[in-house]
Amino acid sequence: MTNSSPTLTANATGAMYQWIDCATMLPISSETNQSFTATANGSYAVIVTENACTDTSACESVTGLAITELSYRPEVILYPNPNQGDVIIDLGRTYNNVNVKIRTITGQEISSTYFGRTDKIFMKVEAPAGFYFINIETEGGYLTILKLVKN
């Protein structure tokens, strides 16, 4: 992907595209062109489908759209990845309230679990083998989104 902030362009040509907001991992309505121009600061990715294969790009940041952002985020680690369903999420520090949502690659929420004061989360992912996104939200808002591969 080419980032000419605020315009992002998928490098693949002649494919099908769906741009997503990385904060929610949900599709952005009507954004199915090779290029996408963000209207708000954020992190965006594109799902590219070509020759019956689908892949999602890494998230790219768009900044400087008249909003000052805080760039610090602690390092959050998910392991093992890939896995058989049992995962550990090391938050990098202790949070009082943590909500973990697991979503399919199309954005469908398959679980939402609340955790009290913790710095590590032990979870069993009750879903078929595939690719998933784990949205982690704390008392301060979204902390991060992690990619999960379940074998």
- Helix/strand/coil for 70: coil
State yes or no: pLDDT of 74 exceeds 70: no
pLDDT at position 71? 41
Residues of the chain above pLDDT 70, percent:
93
Comparing C-alpha atoms, which of 85, 113, 120, 109 is closest to residue 99?
113
Q: Is the peptide bond before 6 cis (omega within 30 degrees of 0)?
A: yes
Summary mean pLDDT of the chain:
86
**Best CATH choice for the domain 77-150 from the list 3.40.50.720, 2.60.40.3080, 3.40.50.920, 1.10.10.10:** 2.60.40.3080
State yes or no: pLDDT of 68 exceeds 50: no
What is the arithmetic mean of pLDDT over 93-112? Answer: 90
State yes or no: pLDDT of 47 exceeds 50: yes
HSE-up of 50 (CA within 13 Å, CB side)? 13
Give CA–CA dist 62/6, Å, rounded: 6
Largest CA distance in the chain: 48
pLDDT at position 72? 45
In CATH, what is the architecture of 2-62?
Sandwich (2.60)
Q: What angle do CA 99, 20, 108 make, to 5 degrees?
A: 50
Would you list the domain boundaries of the chain? 2-62, 77-150
User: Comparing 2-62 with 77-150, is the CATH topology the same?
Assistant: yes
Tell how strand 86-95 and strand 60-62 pair up. Answer: unpaired
Cα–Cα separations (whole angstroms), residue 104 to 9, 130, 146, 151: 24, 8, 12, 14
Give CA–CA dist 82/148, Å, rounded: 7
State yes or no: pLDDT of 34 exceeds 90: yes
Q: What is the pTM of this model?
A: 0.53
Categorize the per-residue pLDDT at 19 as very low, low, confident or very high, splitting at 50, 70 and 90: very high
